[in-house]
Amino acid sequence: MPKRILIVGGGYVGLYTALRLQRGLRPGEAEVTVVNPENYMVYRPLLPEVASGTLEPRHAVVPLRAVLRKTRFISGALTGLDTARATATVQPMAGPSLELEYDELVLALGATSRLLPVPGLAERGIGFNSLAEAAHLRDHVLRQLEIAAATTDPEVRRSALTFVFVGGGYTGVEAVAELQDMAVDVLEGYPEVDRSEMRWILVEAMDRILGTVSADLAELATTELTARGIDIRTGTLLESAENGVLQLSDGTKLSSDTLVWVAGTRPQTIIGELGLPVDDRGRLVVDDTMRVHGQPNIWSAGDCAAVPDPEKGGTCPPTAQHAVRQAQQLGENLLLTLRGHAVKPFRYNSRGEFVTLGKNKAVGEVLGHKVDGTLAWTLRRAYYATQIPTWNRTVRVLGDWVVGMPFGHDVVNFGSREEPRGAFKEAAAEKK
C-alpha cells in the first residue's frame, strides 16, 4: 500500500517539498496531499514590485494545481492534529471538516504578521505579507496622491502625503523604497503636488536597518534611502496610532493616513495548539534533519520551524533562499525515509543577498563582493527570474520587466476592487 504523505502549507516549504517528491517518487511508492487555503504560492521576494506596479500580481504567484499535477490538492486550513492516530483535521472552503490520515506529515504553515499591543495599530495598520496587501498598498498610495491633489484642506493634505513604515528589515526597506520610487515617478501627473510635500518615514527599533545583513550592505541602503529623502528613524518605536495620529518614542507626532506594519512575523496561531514542542518564539522545535523533536513522522521547516544553522550557529534566518533549500533537503529526507535509508542534516551557506530599492536601484552582496545601483538591480532580477518555479512564470515575470523598463509607473488606481459590489449596491439603492 502506498505511504501517505501530507503536506500542510503551500508556501516555499510546501511547494518545493512536494516538487522534490513529485520528481523522486517511484510509481505507487507514496500518495502526496497538499493542503493550503489558497490554490497558489506567493513568491514573496517579488511583492515589493507588485506594490510598485512593475509586476502584474498574478505573475508573482505559482498555481499549485498547475505545477503539482501528481499531487492531490485540498483548499483548506489545518484545525487540529491527533498524533496518536496520525490524523489531521482540515476545514475546507465549504462543507464539513475532513480527517486526513498520514504516514509522514510536513508542517509548512509559514508565518503571519507579529503585532504588538500598540493602541490603534490593529485598526489603522496594514501588513505586507500577502499579495492582497501589496496590491492594496499600491492603490492606497495612488489614492492618497489623488486626495492631496484635490483637497483644499492643509491638514487633510498633510495626512495624505505622510507615509509611515514600521520595521526596517528586508520587507520594510524594500516596501518603502519601491513605493516611494513609484510615487516620485508618477508625480508628473499630479501638478498640484510637490515632491517636497511628501514625507516617507521608516521607523526601526534597532540601531540600524537591515539587521540580518552585513553592516556595510545596510549602510549602502541607508545612504541610498536617505539621499532620496526617506526619513529613517532608528532606535525608535511606534507607541500609539489612535485617531490617525502616530506617536513615536522619540516624541514625534505624525498625522498620517498610511501606516504599514512590517515589524517582523510570528508562526501561525495553530502551531501552538497542536501539542508539539515550540521554542520561545512559537516555532516548532526540529533537529538538523527537520524532524520535529519527539515525533519521528512529523517534519517542519521555513518560518514556522526553528531549523538549526550549522554554519553560523543558532537558527536559520527566515529568508526565501533558506526556505527553498530546507524544502529540497526535506523532500530528499522523506524519500530516504520511505526507502529505509538514513536521513541527512540540512547544510546551507548563503551565497549572497539583494535588497531592491526601486527601479534601477538595489544593493547586494554576491560571494563577498558588494554591489549597488543598476548592476545590483540587474543581478537581483536575473537571480529571481531563474529561481521562480516553472518556465511559464519565468517568462511572464521577464515579460513584465522588459515591457516596463522603458516606461514609467502606471497611475491607474484599482481601489474599487476592494468593494466589487459597490456599484451594484448603489444601483439597487437608487432603484428603491
Question: Does the pLDDT value for residue 346 go beyond 90?
Answer: yes
Domains and CATH numbers, the chain: 3-44+59-112+265-350 (3.50.50.100), 131-263+353-405 (3.50.50.100)
Reference 353, options 343, 345, 361, 362; nearest CA is 362
The pLDDT tens digits for 210-242 are: 987 888 889 999 999 999 999 999 999 999 999
The pLDDT tens digits for 97-143 are: 999 999 999 999 999 888 899 999 999 999 998 999 999 999 999 99
Contact 290, 96 (CB under 8 A): no
Name the DSSP letter for residue 283: P
Claim: this prediction has a pTM higher than 0.75: yes
The pLDDT tens digits for 165-195 are: 999 999 999 999 999 999 999 999 999 999 9
Contact 64, 10 (CB under 8 A): yes
Residue 183: φ, ψ to 5°:
-60, -40
Reference 2, options 40, 25, 31, 24; nearest CA is 31
Q: Give me the pLDDT at residue 349, please.
A: 82
Helix (H, G, I), strand (E, B) or coil at 85: coil
Mean pLDDT, residues 69-74:
96
Confidence of residue 265 (pLDDT cuts 50, 70, 90): confident
